[in-house]
Amino acid sequence: LADIANDESRAYRSVLSPENAAEFHKAIGLAAHGVGIGSFVYLRRIFERLIQSRFAEFKETEKWNEDDFKKLRMAEKIDFLKGHLPEFLVENARIYSILSSGIHELDEKTCLGFFGVIRSSIILILEEDKEKQKKLRLQDELMKAIAGFTPPPLGAE
């Protein structure tokens, strides 16, 4: 089970901070050992940091006010950032309230029973981010290649 947790967290290191990768690994490990509520705590922290990091990534270019953003509830933050977040996350913002319920209201069995769905949802969100990064890298490479193109002189063979 620890190997599976390592493989999953390793697969998303390109889109997860070291802290989030470590906590993703812990969440999977806790669930594997029957600790549902604790696993939800780590997944919720990751979710919150994904939202916060996306705000930080775009706040300068979008000229957003950090104090105003901090006052928003999570659903409002997701709506605010919807143009900069993976589509699955925006469409399923309820993930956060499920994680919160797991921490505050649900029992271990219920959290464990739904852990797979939440883990897979986080993975889908991370996959969307990986694909976006891959697309942006390819666009950047192609733009540089196109900008650097110089045709051969006329008459040269």
The predicted-structure confidence for 13-59, as pLDDT tens digits, reads as follows 777 888 988 899 899 889 989 999 999 999 999 999 999 989 999 99
Q: CB–CB of 90/82 below 8 Å?
A: yes
Contact 21/13 with Cβ under 8 angstroms? yes
What's the predicted TM-score (pTM) here? 0.82
At residue 1, does pLDDT exceed 70?
no
- Which of 79, 81, 48 shows the shortest CA–CA distance to 62? 81
In whole angstroms, what separates CA 15 from the centre of its chain? 7
Q: What is the 3-state secondary structure (H, E, C) of 63-122?
A: CCCHHHHHCCCHHHHHHHCHHHCCHHHHHCCHHHHHHHHHHHCCCHHHHHHHHHHHHHHH
Q: What is the pLDDT of residues 107-132, one digit of tens each?
A: 999 999 999 899 888 888 888 888 88
